[in-house]
Amino acid sequence: MTVLQSIIDGVREDLEGRRLTVDEREIIELASAATPALDAFASLGGREAGEDRDQSVHIISEVKRKSPSKGALAEIPEPAALASMYEAGGASVISVLTEERRFGGSLADLDAVRAAVSVPVLRKDFMVEPYQFFEARAHGADLVLLIVAALDDAKLAEFLALTHQLGMNALVETHTPEEIQRAAAVGAKIIGVNTRNLKTLDVDITTFGALKDLIPSDRVIVAESGVQELADVQLYGSQGADAILVGEALVKSGDPAATVRAYREAATAARAGK
C-alpha cells in the first residue's frame, strides 16, 4: 500500500465519524448559508481571456503542524495568529491542513484562520467524498485541493464541477506529465506541480522545471513543496511559477511575515530575470 492510499483510508474513517455529528442534509444547508467564497483564482494572478496577466509570484502560506515525512514541525497553538502574520507579509492565500492523523490539522484550525484573515483560504486535505466539499464551504474555505493521483477521471471531473458549483476554486495537484494532461483536460484553472511524490514522499525540486511547460499558459501554475531557503523560491520563480506553496520553511521561521515578504519579492524578481 502506498503512503497516499494509507492516508486516504484514514481520511475516510475520520469522515464517517464527522458524518455522525453533522449529517449530509445539515452540511449542505450550512454550506448554502456560508458567506460567498473569495476569488482565489484572481488572488493568485489568474485573469480571464483578454486581460493582462499579473507578473508577480504569489505565496500560498501554509499552517502546518507536522507531516508524514518530517514528523513534528511546529506547535502552532494559535493558527489565527500565524495566518495573520502570513497575511501581513503579503501572502495571497493561506493554506490550512485539516487532515488530523498525519498532519495534526483540524476544521477548527480552518475556522480560526478564516475568522482572522481577509485573503482566500485553502482547505488542504485529501478530498475523496462530496461531503468534504460542502464541509469545506460550510467552514469558509475558498479553495480546495484535488490530488489527481488520488482520483480517477470521472471523480476528478465531478469534484471540480462541484467545487465550482459551490463558488470555490480548486488547486489541482499533479506530479507527472500524464496527471498534468488529465488536470488540463477537465478544465482545471489552477494547476500545481508537487515536487513531493505522495506515493513515496520523496522530494525532487527539479520536478517543477521539468513539467511546468506542459501546463497550458492560461492556467495559474503553482510550485508545491521543496522550499527550504530563498534560493528555492528564486528557482521556482525563474522557471515561471505564478505561485509557490510553502509550509515547513514558514512554520519554522522566526519571523513568518518577513519570510513571506522576502520569498515573494525574491521569486518575483527571479521571474522577471532580475
Query: In degrees to the nearest 10, what's the CA dihedral of 260, 65, 124, 227?
Result: 40
CB 57 within 8 A of CB 244: yes
Q: Which of 67, 92, 95, 194 is catalytic?
A: 194
Look up 124 and say whether it is catalytic. Answer: yes
As a whole number, the mean pLDDT across the chain is 95
Q: Domain of 115?
A: 3-271
Rounded to a whole number, what is the distance in angstroms from the first to the last CA of the chain?
A: 45
Is 224 catalytic? The answer is yes
Mean pLDDT over 146-154 rounds to: 97
Active-site pick, 56, 84, 169, 225: 225
The answer to whether 162 touches 130, Cβ cutoff 8 Å, is yes
Rounded to 10 degrees, the C-alpha dihedral 24/138/175/269 comes to 170
Higher pLDDT among residues 54 and 87, named by residue:
87
Which pLDDT value is given to residue 70?
Answer: 86
Q: How far apart are CA 177 and CA 263, in angstroms?
A: 27
Give the Cβ contact number of residue 187 at 10 Å: 12
Among the listed residues 43, 56, 61, 64, the single catalytic one is: 64
pLDDT one-digit tens code per residue, 174-229: 999 999 999 999 999 999 999 998 888 889 999 999 999 999 999 999 999 999 99
Phi, psi of 194 (to 5 degrees): -90, 120
Residue 50 has pLDDT above 70, yes or no: no
- Domain CATH number, residue 204: 3.20.20.70
- Which whole number is the average pLDDT over 30-38? 98
Percent of the chain clearing pLDDT 70 (strictly above): 99
- Catalytic residue, from 99, 135, 179, 224: name it: 224
Which pLDDT does position 49 carry in this prediction? 67
Determine whether 178 is an active site residue.
no
pLDDT band at 43 (very low <50, low <70, confident <90, very high): very high
Work out the average pLDDT over 21-33. Answer: 97
Instruction: Read off the C-alpha cell for 221.
Output: 501554475
Residue 66 annotated among the catalytic residues of the structure: no
Residue 274 scores a pLDDT above 80? no
Task: List the catalytic residue out of 173, 197, 212, 248.
Answer: 173
What is the gyration radius of the CA atoms in the chain, in angstroms?
17
Confidence at 28, pLDDT banded by 50, 70, 90: very high
Q: Which three cell numbers stand for residue 152?
A: 480517477
Of these residues, 56, 62, 179, 212, which one is catalytic? 62
| Known catalytic membership, residue 173 | yes
- The pLDDT tens digits for 73-117 are 999 999 999 999 999 999 999 999 999 999 999 999 999 999 999
Number of domains the chain is built from: 1
pLDDT score for 1: 75
